[in-house]
Amino acid sequence: MAERPQSPPLEGVRVVSVEQYGAGPWATLQLADLGAEVIKIEDPASGGDVGRYVPPYQEGEDSLFFETFNRGKLSVSLDLRAEAGRAVFEDLVVQSDVVFSNLRGDLATRLGLDFAALERVNPRIVCCALSGFGSTGPRAAQPGYDYLVQGLAGWMSLTGAASGPPTKSGLSLVDLSTGYAAAVSILAGLHRAQRDGRGCDCEVSLFETALHQLCYIGTWAATAGYVPERLDDSAHPSIVPFQNFPTADGWIVVACPKEHFWRSLCAALEQPDLLADERFADFAARFRHREELLSLITDELARRPAVEWLEILAAAGVPCAPVNDVAAALADPQAVAREALVEIEHPRLGTVRQVASPLRVDGARREYERAPERDEHRLDVLRRVCGYDDATIEDRARDGAFGAA
């Protein structure tokens, strides 16, 4: 058998990232967790990444929010508006594979973070810009945030109770999804640069990612004029039953996305008559008679506690799960078995427990490290990557490369 690889899959890839807050740092976190060296450029004039100051669990320039998005990265404070700072940035680009930014849509080009501006410095550089709305269109210069885009892209109209107001998702899923999309774009750009010997621009936006995530709902609406409606109990828009149900002491999720699961549910409920009822004969019939069927299932499930039903349904082969709170989810036996939580020691915050990367590539995994202090790695990066000696670093500092001298 061939030897298993002994290094993380992206070891040797270097990313220079002008990033802050959520979506951008989440994108490069995926690369860092896979072994890439991510050099985080922080603006000295603004105190660095605003994520450092997000409450709660925040002290000085450290926060658990910042730790979540920035573990394993290196930090260099650099003033890209200063001529000396730009010179240092370009020296980093010469020795890097990727330049990433998450700024307003028109800023990446204005700040010279795109391929057109950097090709002369490194013709193989892959430039990825993440923004709210992209670099063109009437919203290009507008700031974009997850909550705004959830409203704009139709997500809130799909979420919440039927009689309640439009509702955002419980997590910043637009930010997180766009971060993943950016990571995929970067990997595609790296492959093309390796294949063709020339870099490129990649562009992703919160808005377009959110539209893309409308998925089949978007197809139905664009093709057939489908108008979605909010359903109670987090019900699936077309498959019945596929939703939350109350039991005698808590909520569970029950899903029947295949006919054999429906048959298994009827057996588990000890309701064989449901199988013979023409109103529930197939997907389409159950959809038409949603209210009648859900009333019958709800009445039955209310007779026993959640743990009993989960045992009965699982034994019958029916897809089901408890509706956990976050603490219970992190303590689930599957999470424990898969070592989904990792511990990282931090000099100020103590032992930080956070969720491990879901990206598992056969072979060695990168050891998780804490997020950097602001400008912690200036000397290391400038000496090792740029080849600067101490005199050059002092000259750059005097000229304002790292903020006010």
pLDDT given for residue 3 in this prediction: 65
Least Cα distance to 102 among 171, 153, 189, 175 occurs for 175
**Is the Cβ–Cβ distance between 100 and 203 less than 8 Å?**
no
Mean pLDDT, residues 304-318: 97
Q: What is the rounded distance in angstroms from the CA atom of residue 314 to the CA atom of residue 177?
A: 31
Mean pLDDT, residues 165-189: 97
Give domain 233-323's CATH superfamily. formyl-coa transferase, domain 3 (3.30.1540.10)
| Tens-place pLDDT, residues 103-144 | 988 899 999 999 999 999 999 999 999 999 999 999 999 999
State yes or no: pLDDT of 272 exceeds 70: yes
pLDDT given for residue 2 in this prediction: 59
State yes or no: pLDDT of 288 exceeds 80: yes
pLDDT given for residue 362 in this prediction: 84
Could you give the residue numbers annotated as active site?
175
pLDDT given for residue 176 in this prediction: 98
pLDDT given for residue 378 in this prediction: 97
Residue that the structure tokens 């949603």 belong to: 290
| Tens-place pLDDT, residues 3-36 | 666 789 999 999 999 999 999 999 999 999 999 9
pLDDT given for residue 405 in this prediction: 66
pLDDT given for residue 77 in this prediction: 97
State yes or no: pLDDT of 49 exceeds 80: yes
**Domain layout of the chain by residue ranges:** 14-213+357-398, 233-323
Strands in 54-111 per DSSP E = 58-59, 62-63, 74-77, 98-102
State yes or no: pLDDT of 1 exceeds 60: no
Q: What is the rounded distance in angstroms from the CA atom of residue 199 to the CA atom of residue 115?
A: 7
Q: What is the rounded distance in angstroms from the CA atom of residue 221 to the CA atom of residue 264?
A: 33
Q: Please give the share of the chain, as a percent, with pLDDT higher than 90.
A: 95
**According to CATH, what is the number of the domain 14-213+357-398?**
3.40.50.10540
- Residue 204 confidence class, pLDDT cut points 50, 70, 90: very high
**Cα torsion 92, 97, 103, 108: sign:** positive
Mean pLDDT, residues 279-299: 96
pLDDT given for residue 117 in this prediction: 97
Please give the model's pTM, rounded to 2 decimal places: 0.93
